[in-house]
Amino acid sequence: MDKIGLHIIGGWSGNLGKPRVIKLVNVSAQYAAQVRGQVGPQTLVVVRWIETEQPLDNPAARAQQFVARHQSEMLSMRSMSGPNIAFEGYNEVPDHLAAQYAVFEAERLRIMHSLSLRSVVGNFSVGTPDLAKWAVYQPMLAALRPGDFLGLHEYWCDQFDIANRWHCGRWNKVPELAGVPIVVTECGRDQVEGKGKPGWRQTCDANQFLSDLWAYDELLEASANVLGATVFTAGNDPRWRDFDPSPIWPHVVAGYSDPQTYPQMAVPTSYPAQVIQAPGVTYDYRNQSHNYESRQNTPVTYLVMHDTEGSLSATLSWFANSNSQASAHDVIDESGVCHHLIDYDQAAWHAGGPTSKLNPGANLKSIGVELVYPAAPANPPWPQVQLAAAVLHCREIVRAFAIARDHVVRHADIDPTRRTDPRNFPWQWFLDQLYAPEVNMDTIIESIRKAAWAQGGTVYNPTAAFPAYARVHNLGAPMGPETDTTIDGCTYRWQRFANGIVYAKVGDWANVGHASW
């Protein structure tokens, strides 16, 4: 029964055991730390805050606001409870908002990774998303990093219903979820598609519900990519008394194995040998270095910046020389070209000296980027094209590997023998550029379009039939608001555009037409 954990709202007093996963809703950092003390370090703690509203009108901006709203609490919880904690975003978003929600979660993941925080995305209600919608969610799934999970909710109306793969174990029906780490963040007996009554206490006794959980645990155990499930819900919310599993929880805990004996779900720590390619940066792959070693499955958590103190040709020759025992993954020259020497699944030899503060394993856990700069005492300003390329390229690195801002360091920060490396480099500016919020041009353009319509005395409605028709037929800008005219007892609506007059009979919006001036 190790894959069955408890869902708690507010707080709960009882023996939690040591399940694979437990979920806490609307709790303090102090309570989360208390739970960690009970369940031990191996249990994943999932945390959610109930949002009174879940706006998706501007999904990227809403994601930024969400993280900002909870950032302090999340960082406190990670500090007090350790790294095995993950945070949810919105809850049970319906299918018709799939496109907006995918953008929201992809952006939330990007920001969470920059803070070294883990996430649970999705948390979809029973039977959703529809099979066709999983294609829409591919950007969200692609943005997951090691330690993140997809969350699902699963409920059944009786024990026979556990065999209904659309209600329970629906990951088996979705090819896109093969190998995706999953946690079921709510489960239990409920009214499903009009069948049964809400809450197990309305439909069965304690023994039957316990039997349900044993059957559901068998389903979970058959899926290696599913960490576990949390049973809804214990805690202090009186609305959910008929769901409260407290009476049977001692029996669930009694069914747990020794946490040292059950296998932990594998969380990938190695990274592909992909080459980061930032838009706007020119790359050169002709040169390479053999001065590297295996990462030994050590996750990349640092980016270390250097300057070469010499020319590009001298640097490439030095890194190609096996006797130098020195290298970097990338070298960015004065013209902004990025010379990629070593793939990121290997550890370059750039920061592994005995004095490095990142030791042991400084090279194993980091990516090294060199910036071409002349040797002292030469002191020229850094070329703008080189700085721009460094920002664009390194921004892609920190996103790809979810490197936190305080883990982007100078060589001088980690090795006291390198007091000025990189020398004269605008460090704070560089960090600010790496982690600056992205400008959403679609949002900006939409706002400009809305303002332009308003200036012409017209309310902008992007989904209205007339503007959509005018765009398709190249009728130009609107020249005024929609107006109704009654002709022979029928009311027609029309609107002036630069190259024609769009009209339709009121209520018959499928038959929009236009007339020339």
Q: Which residue has the tokens 């399940």?
A: 19
Banded model confidence at residue 92, pLDDT cuts 50, 70, 90: very high
* 436 residue type, one letter: A
Mean pLDDT of 279-293: 84
With 70 as the cut, is the pLDDT of residue 489 above it? yes
Banded model confidence at residue 264, pLDDT cuts 50, 70, 90: very low
**Torsion sign, CA atoms 153, 157, 160, 161:** negative
Q: Which pLDDT value is given to residue 261?
A: 54
Q: Which pLDDT value is given to residue 469?
A: 81
Instruction: Extract the tokens encoding 194.
Output: 């009009």
What are the C-alpha distances in Å from 320 to residues 22, 179, 298, 317, 326?
51, 39, 25, 5, 9
* Mean pLDDT, rounded, of the chain: 87
Q: Which pLDDT value is given to residue 101?
A: 96
The model's pLDDT over 136-172, given as tens digits with 9 standing for 90+, comes to 999 899 889 888 999 999 999 888 899 999 999 999 9
What are the C-alpha distances in Å from 387 to residues 374, 392, 395, 397?
15, 9, 12, 15
Q: Of 127, 124, 75, give the one whose Cα is nearest residue 102.
A: 124
Q: Which pLDDT value is given to residue 438?
A: 56
The model's pLDDT over 6-19, given as tens digits with 9 standing for 90+, comes to 999 999 988 999 99
Q: Which pLDDT value is given to residue 181?
A: 92
Q: Of 92, 93, 44, 88, give the one whose Cα is nearest residue 70.
A: 88
Percent pLDDT > 70 in the chain is: 91
Q: Which pLDDT value is given to residue 435?
A: 83
CA distance 167 to 378: 69
> What is the H or E stretch that residue 265 is in?
none
DSSP state of 197: -
Banded model confidence at residue 348, pLDDT cuts 50, 70, 90: very high
DSSP code per residue over 334-396: TTSEEEE-S-TTEEESSS--TT-TT-SSTTTTEEEEEE-BPPTT--PPPPHHHHHHHHHHHHH
With 60 as the cut, is the pLDDT of residue 288 above it? yes
Instruction: Extract the tokens encoding 367.
Output: 């990516």
Q: Which pLDDT value is given to residue 266?
A: 40
Q: Of 211, 216, 213, give the one whose Cα is nearest residue 226.
A: 216
